[in-house]
Structures are given as C-alpha cells and as structure tokens.
Structure 1
Amino acid sequence: MKPIPGLSLRRQLLWWLLAPQLILWLMGGVLAYRVALSYAEKALDASLSQSVRSLARQVKPLGSGLLVDFPKAAQAIIEQDPTDRVAYMVSSPPGSFFLGNLTLPAPPTGLDIPDNTPVFYDQALDGKVLRVALMELNYGTPPADQRMRVQVAKSLAAKEVLARELVRDVLIPLLALGTVLSVLVYGGIRRGLAPLQRLEAQLAHRSTAALQPIELTEAPQEVHSLATALNELLGSLRRSLTQEKRFLNDAAHQLRTPLAGLISQSELALQETDPQALRARLQKVHTGAQRSAHLVGQLLALARTEGAIERTPVDVAALAREVAREFARKAVQGQVDLGWEGDDAVHAAASRLLLREALSNLIDNALRYAGAGSTVTVTTRRDGAWCVLGVEDNGPGLRDDQMSHVFERFWRASELPGGCGLGLAIVAEIAQRHGGQAQVRGVSPHGLRVELRLPLLEGQGILNRVPSSPTDTRAAARHSNQP
C-alpha cells in the first residue's frame, strides 16, 4: 500500500489500522442484521405454523360438512401478540370464505401446497407486506370429499423489531470493544513511535560540529537498523568534513609561504631596471609558481585519495610499463637509467587513476632525489596473495632514523627544490584505501626501495610464474625509454 501524501506516520498508522476495523464493524453489522432477519423469520414461521395448526383443529369435518368450534381461548392463542394483529381465514373450497377476521388473497401461482403441511410466503395486502402461513387438508368421504384451506397472516413488523433488537444486542458490545481496541491501538502506536521521536530529538539538536553516533539502546530492531544507517551516513559526513577541514588547513599552511614569496619577488621585479636582475627575479617567480602548482596538484591528489573509490580489474604490470615510458624523457634529461622488470601480467582490483598517481609519485621522487648517474627500477611481482608494485633506486637513500617519517605529510628528508613532502603520503593513503600498505626499506650498499602492496584480483591466486630475465627486461625497457 502506498503512503498517503501529507499525513504523518502516526496518522497513517491510525488510518490503516482503524479504517479496516471500522469497515469490518460495518460489514459485521450488515451481516448480523441479515442473520437476525433470518432467525426472526424462522421464529415468525414457527409462530404462524402453530397458529395455522390450532385454527385447523377448530374446524372439524362432520359428514360432508364442517363443524366450527372456535371459542375465545382458541382465538386468544391465534391472536396472542397484542402489538401486531393477526389475520386469519378458513375457506372451503379453497378461496371461498368460510371463517376468519379478514379476507386473504389466494397464494401466488405455482406455489406447491402439500397436504396437512404448512407453507409460508410473503404477500402484500393494503400496502403492507404480510407473512402468510397456509395449510390445506381434505375432509369428507368419497364421492363427496372436499378440500379446506386455512390461512394465518402476520405483518413483518415483529420480525424487523426482533432483528433490530438482535443487531443492537450484538453491535453495541462490538462497538464498545472496538472503542477499547482503538484506544489500545493509539497507545501502542504512540509507544511504538517513541524511539523515532527520540531519534528526531537527537538529530534536531545535533550540529555539524558534533556528528557523534546516535545511541538507541531500547528500540525495535527496525529503528536500530535506521539508526545504524544514519550512523554510517553521519560517519561518512564526519569523515568528509574532517578531510575538507584538513585539506583547507594544509592548503592554507603550505601555500602561504610560496605565495608570499611570489608576491615579494614580483614586487622586487617591478622595481628592477637592470635587465639581468629583472630576469633573475622573474626566474625566481617562475620557480615559485612551479612549486605552488606542484603543491596544489599534490594537495588535490591527496584529497582524491580520501574519497570513495571504484575498483576495477587493473593489469598493474602493464600500467607500470606505461607510466615508466611517460617518465622516460625526464629520466634522460636527469641522466637516470629508468627501467622496468618483473612479471608480465599482475592483476589487482584497484582504481587505475589512483594507482597511476601513486606510481607517478614514486617514480618522480626517485628521479628527483636519486641523482644523476643513478639507476631507477620499477618492479611488479606476485607475493602470495599480494600484488607488489615497487620502485627502487641506488641513490643516497635515507638514514635508519628517517625511515619512520617518510609517509608523514609535509615531511622532507632533502632540501632540494621542487618537493613539498606529500608524494609518499599520497602513496601510503592510496595503499590504505585499497586494503594494502606501503613499505620502505634501504638497499645495499645504498639506495631506497618503496613498495606498494595490494591484494591480488580475487580468483587469480598464486599462479605459475615464468620470470623474465632482469637483464633482457631492463634492456627492453631502457630501449623503449629512449627519447
């Protein structure tokens, strides 16, 4: 059933619970009235049957004639109801008035009239409907045998009065019970909806600054389910607000310094008259603008990792080769040997966009800090139920006391220009969002390896590996990375 527009839940419940009750009460009243009429008719027929038999006994055959013995006592038996006059008639032959207090019409045509057995029918007389009992019997001896008809009629007023009394005696108690039931239903609805009112009160007094979970310890299971769904929604909203606040704080904190530098350098450039000095100032403005753009890009990437992600099957090995080719020109310009090696196909359920972002950050960090003449290797492999995506370099690496800080936001181990301390934090966040983890370790004799461990695509399992030759793979990768 569809809800009724514009009505509160309480009124709708009252409507759907009390309206059927009222309909059933009315149907019960009609049915009770019909049943009462049936029983009243049976009682009236029994009374008429008794009366017609009593009247027939007062007319006795005598030879070929009739002897009427109709004392006052017999007449009182027939006319025993003082509120409803009884009409009676004896005719012999049938239809010829012999005895009675009213001439009654003949029965309907086609009525089957057995001997010595009363039959009943309704007939109109002087604008009133009467219930008539009729009995015919034979008297006399052949060949002078004759037939006598006895009729007793009574109006239907008594039947209707009896039916109304029966209906009243049945429906009034039912109405009282229905009233009590309605009060109980109303009280039950109020009590049942009380948890929703408490829930409404909790939500009404809740601000966006305090999105704590809703607590309903005593409530029906349906309300608990609603509260659970609302708690999940509040949790999602709380996380979104926290992420938005953190993003704004990070952006405000990190952009303040480079923007201030841009303003100061541009002001100084406006005051310069020497072309060489002006060029130097503009170069600093350009470098600051690049750093700000990089910072904004990293902040936006970090914000993307904190939202909901949609996972699809991704060939991580193919993606790693593709991203490595994109960085080939930068590697050549920085005099870094960039290559790929590992399993040819490793599939994971992941967001292709976020994996590309993570891999780009790893390769960019390695190219930036490994230094000229170094080697950077991108690897993909399976490790049990994990897909391992790693970037390794033989640069200066990090000290042991710095390893625990590499995934912290805005932490930097080097003062080289261009970085903002968010690349590895983004990698760690992406790994966590995929149900995996990011790891870092040193490489002997020097260097650094950062790995992104993701769950393998379900059903892939541990497959038979045909490892590629590292030398051949690196040669192919290096060849494909030539500008």
Structure 2
Amino acid sequence: MKSIPSLRRQLLAWLLLPQLVLWLVGGALTYRIVLISAEKALDQSLLQSVRSLARQVKPIGSGLLVDFPKAAQAIIEEEPEDRVNYMVSSPPGRFLIGNQSFVEPPQPLRPGVPAVYRTEQNGRTMRAVALDLPYGEGDAQLLRVQLAKSYVARDRIARELIAALLAPLLVLGLLLSLLVYGGIKRGMQPLTRLEAQLQQRSPQELTPLELTTAPSEVHTLLTAINRLLASVARSMVQEKRFINDAAHQLRTPLAGLISQTELALQEESPALIQARLRKVHAGALRSAHLLNQLLMLARSGADVPMQPLDLGQLARAVAREFSPRAINLGVDLGYEGPDQAWVWVLGSELLLREALGNLIDNALRYGRKEGDARGDSTVTIAVLEHGARIELRVEDNGPGLDAALREQAFERFWRGSNLPGGCGLGLSIVQEIARRHGGEALIETAQPPSEAHPAGYGLRVRLLLPRLADASQARA
C-alpha cells in the first residue's frame, strides 16, 4: 500500500517549497536587475571617460592637437583590474592613435552625440562608446574617439550587490522557515492531544472527547468524532438491551415449550398429544412474535435512511393489508383522510409501516368487547394536517384504558390485557419510531365521558410527525 505523507510534512512542503521557489525567482530577478543597474553605471563611466578624452582634442588652425597619453593613462589607472581600450581616428575609421582592434559602431553617429554598444575585442566582450567631433575651418572634418571597457567591473559590482541583497534575504528565509515549522508544530498540538486521548481509551469507553483549546476546524472534527461515538454507544446500548430483553422474555416461553414437549412424549393418548402440540404451537407463535417485536424495537433505534413519503398513501396501503383480518373479526376498519392531497413527511417507510401495523393490530386485538355483535366494533385510521405537523391516528370504540394505565402504556413489556398473543412491545415500538422521526406518540380516550360511559370509552393513539418543508421537491 502506498504510504501517504503525514499532514505535518504536507503542510511543510506546501509552505516551504513555494517559499524556496519564490526566493530563487526573486534571486534571479534581483541578479538581473543588478546587472542592468551595473551596466548603466558602466555606460555612465564610459560616457564621462570619452568626454574627458574628447576634451584633450585642441583645434590648431586647420589641424588639431591630440594630447591623449596622460588622459588615457589616468582613465586606465581608474580600474587597474579592468581592461580599457581606446582609439582615435580621423576621418572616422582612419587610425591615428590607440588600439587598432576597434569595431565600427553598429549605426551611424551624429556629431557630438555619443553611442554606446557591445563589441568584441581580442576575443573578449566589452562595452564601448563612440563620439564624433567636428574640427577645422571651412569644411569641417570629423574626429572619432572610441573607448571600450570589459565587464570585469560590472560583474564585480553585481556580485557585491547580490551578496549584499541576497544574504539578508537568505537569513530572513531561514528565520521564516523556522517560524513556519514552529507554527505548524504548535497548530498540530490539538490533533496530537486528540490522538493521545484516543490511544489511551479502551474499546468500551465511548464517552465524548474533550478538547476545549483548539481551532474551529479541530472542534468540527471533534464534534464529528463525538457524534460517531454517541452513535456507537447507542448501538451498543441497544444491542445489550436487545440481548437482555431477548434472554429475559424468551426464557419463559422456551421453558414452556420444553415442558410441553416432555409431557407430550410421555402421553400415550393421541388426543392428549394433540392438545400438547397445540400448546407447543401457540407457544412457538408467541415466541416468534416476541422475537420479531424485539428485532423491530432494536431496528427502530438504529440509524436508517430517511426519504420523502406520502403518509396518506402509506396509511391507505396498510389499512388495505389489514382489511381481510378485520372482516374475519367482524370489525369495521376504515380510513379517513385526504385521498388526492399530498401529505409528505421525511421518514422511513419500513418503520412507519411497522408503527401503523402495531397500532392497527392492537386495535383489532384489544379494541372490541367480548360479546359485541359483528360490525359493532370499529377501528378508524386517520391522517390529519396541523400546520407544521402531520397527525397519524388510529382509534377504536373498545373499552379503552383508565388514565392511570395510559401512563404506563408506552413502557416496554407492559400489557393492559391478559388476552393471548401480545408481548407488551407494540406501543413501545410506536413511541421509539415516533421519536426517531422527530415526533411524539400520544394516547388518549377516544370518546368523551357520557351518562352511559362516565369514564369515556375507546382508545386513540396519535403520532405527530413534522411535515416535510419542501413538498414540491418530494413530488418531483
């Protein structure tokens, strides 16, 4: 597997490498600027020198007196290490005195206007200046004075300037690199402390991490880690609770199944064996129902994907699924709510279907009185809109629950009836699913008190869920 550099090395690379590149580019540009400035200084020196030599030309009648040796010697002695050549010609190009190796200027000269140019003499590159001077009476003649210097002085000046400029920049760059390294090391300390906290923890310790003195980015990371730890802690608690509940609740049914099978094995009468087997079958069905309810209770607390769904359409679909059972029991099962309007919530179809199924199952199982004529018992499913919330309601006209018992209805494994088939988890699952969707579950008497029923009758369970804010997007 390809190794990835540490964050500290990446930060150092991204901060120091551009600094090094900028320092090198700055050094090159500085060197270029220094060379240009030194060359301008060389040009100024040449212009002053050629004018000094030109002043040694003195017209005499139609001729001239050239007194160059002392002036030229003084110019040469200005830079002992530099190479200086000069030549006087009249007319221009006809050698009179100096060095004969001069190259003609690359362009025609105007009298009295010096021209500076680059030339080659004896295999060396030199900087030259040429000046034409008129002399004599009548038809003026021209005298050309040429002076050339090598780049030794310019290069020496450039090196001195570069050393004077780049050395402080190099020192400043090193100091800046140290500051950058120190800043990165200090900035990485919160991550180092966070790493130390995580390494010191045991796998079972899922309490939130604490890191108060840290930048906002680290706090964001810490928040995400704490959120993950909280999710893992919830999952572990749910898993532990599921194991404990399953072990506790399945112990008695399994013991009953074992007991019934042992008795059935000892029986010789086929009728008694059939009776034992029916009890074993009923116990197995109850155990399977209990296990399914426990699994759904554990699933309701887990993280599940949420998506926009039409609560009215879901309620109608679940009501149609329970219609055959309601007909067999003689219960009038109906739906009240919008048929065409869209009632959108953000939720899990699996969990909401399970919650509604539990409410309908409870209503069909416990929401009718024994001895009632067929059709007298009713169960109504309704979807109502209350502003920012949607109400999913299941109501029956059975005996209901006393106020004291209604307070315990959402407790796990609490049963308000001794009728077979239940396990006391249906309403607990409904409440857990409602909370998982950011809502709440309420239980109340369906019908108000009257003379015939002083305490009221019937039971109504309401799920209040937040409405989906952007319903247009859900329809699309």
When the two structures are superposed, what TM-score results if normalisation uses the length of structure 1?
Answer: 0.86
CA distance in 1, matches of 2:352, 2:75: 108
Q: Which residue of 2 aligns with 1:361?
A: 358
1:355-397 residue CA offsets vs partner (Å, 9 max, x unmatched):
3222221222233233444413214153633444333344443
Q: Which residue of 2 aligns with 1:224?
A: 219
CA distance in 2, matches of 1:25, 1:332: 88
Instruction: Specify whether residues 276 and 127 from structure 1 end up closer, same or farther in structure 2 by C-alpha distance, changes over 3 A only.
Output: same
Q: Describe the SS at the equivalent of 2:78.
A: coil
1:212-291 correspondence to structure 2 within 5 Å: 212-291=207-286
Instruction: Specify whether residues 69 and 432 from structure 1 end up closer, same or farther in structure 2 by C-alpha distance, changes over 3 A only.
Output: closer
Query: Contact 1:428/1:438 (CA < 8 Å) preserved in 2?
Result: yes
CA distance in 2, matches of 1:150, 1:272: 142
Deviation at 1:298, TM superposition (A): 0.9
Q: Which residue of 1 aligns with 2:113?
A: 117
Q: Which residue of 2 aligns with 1:56?
A: 54
Unmatched segments (≥5 aa) in structure 2: 472-476
CA distance in 2, matches of 1:254, 1:247: 10
Query: Contact 2:87/2:146 (CA < 8 Å) preserved in 1?
Result: yes
Q: Which residue of 1 aligns with 2:39?
A: 41
Q: Which residue of 2 aligns with 1:473?
A: none
CA distance in 1, matches of 2:117, 2:385: 99
Q: Describe the SS at the equivalent of 1:79.
A: helix
Instruction: Specify whether residues 87 and 309 from structure 1 end up closer, same or farther in structure 2 by C-alpha distance, changes over 3 A only.
Output: closer
CA distance in 1, matches of 2:71, 2:145: 18
Answering whether residue 455 of structure 2 is matched by residue 455 of structure 1, we say no
1:414 to 413, 417, 423: 417
Q: Which residue of 2 aligns with 1:203?
A: 198
**How well do the aligned residues superpose, as a CA RMSD in angstroms?**
2.6
Query: Contact 2:439/2:466 (CA < 8 Å) preserved in 1?
Result: no
1:128 to 112, 117, 124: 124
Deviation at 1:10, TM superposition (A): 1.0
Query: Contact 2:132/2:145 (CA < 8 Å) preserved in 1?
Result: yes
CA distance in 1, matches of 2:103, 2:397: 127
Deviation at 1:456, TM superposition (A): 6.1
Instruction: Specify whether residues 454 and 23 from structure 1 end up closer, same or farther in structure 2 by C-alpha distance, changes over 3 A only.
Output: same
Query: Contact 2:380/2:395 (CA < 8 Å) preserved in 1?
Result: yes
CA distance in 1, matches of 2:363, 2:391: 17
Query: Contact 1:362/1:450 (CA < 8 Å) preserved in 2?
Result: no
Query: Contact 1:84/1:158 (CA < 8 Å) preserved in 2?
Result: yes
Instruction: Specify whether residues 311 and 94 from structure 1 end up closer, same or farther in structure 2 by C-alpha distance, changes over 3 A only.
Output: closer
Identity in percent: 55
CA distance in 2, matches of 1:140, 1:398: 137
Q: Which residue of 2 aligns with 1:26?
A: 24
Query: Contact 1:438/1:450 (CA < 8 Å) preserved in 2?
Result: no
Q: Which residue of 2 aligns with 1:68?
A: 66
Q: Which residue of 2 aligns with 1:312?
A: 308
1:397 to 378, 396, 400: 400
Instruction: Specify whether residues 131 and 319 from structure 1 end up closer, same or farther in structure 2 by C-alpha distance, changes over 3 A only.
Output: closer
2:429 to 426, 430, 451: 426
Instruction: Specify whether residues 210 and 459 from structure 1 end up closer, same or farther in structure 2 by C-alpha distance, changes over 3 A only.
Output: closer
Stretch moving more, 381-390 or 47-56: 381-390
Instruction: Specify whether residues 392 and 49 from structure 1 end up closer, same or farther in structure 2 by C-alpha distance, changes over 3 A only.
Output: closer
CA distance in 1, matches of 2:209, 2:391: 40
Q: Which residue of 1 aligns with 2:474?
A: none
CA distance in 2, matches of 1:167, 1:97: 41
Deviation at 1:450, TM superposition (A): 3.0
Unmatched segments (≥5 aa) in structure 1: 462-483
Q: Describe the SS at the equivalent of 1:222.
A: helix
CA distance in 1, matches of 2:260, 2:440: 42
When the two structures are superposed, what TM-score results if normalisation uses the length of structure 2?
Answer: 0.87
Instruction: Specify whether residues 132 and 326 from structure 1 end up closer, same or farther in structure 2 by C-alpha distance, changes over 3 A only.
Output: closer
1:158-182 residue CA offsets vs partner (Å, 9 max, x unmatched):
1111111111110000000111111
Q: Which residue of 2 aligns with 1:481?
A: none
Deviation at 1:190, TM superposition (A): 0.9
Instruction: Specify whether residues 85 and 275 from structure 1 end up closer, same or farther in structure 2 by C-alpha distance, changes over 3 A only.
Output: same
CA distance in 1, matches of 2:116, 2:469: 86
Q: Describe the SS at the equivalent of 1:312.
A: strand
CA distance in 1, matches of 2:395, 2:146: 121
1:340 is aligned with what amino acid? G
Answering whether residue 442 of structure 2 is matched by residue 439 of structure 1, we say yes
Instruction: Specify whether residues 93 and 328 from structure 1 end up closer, same or farther in structure 2 by C-alpha distance, changes over 3 A only.
Output: closer
1:192 to 174, 178, 187: 187
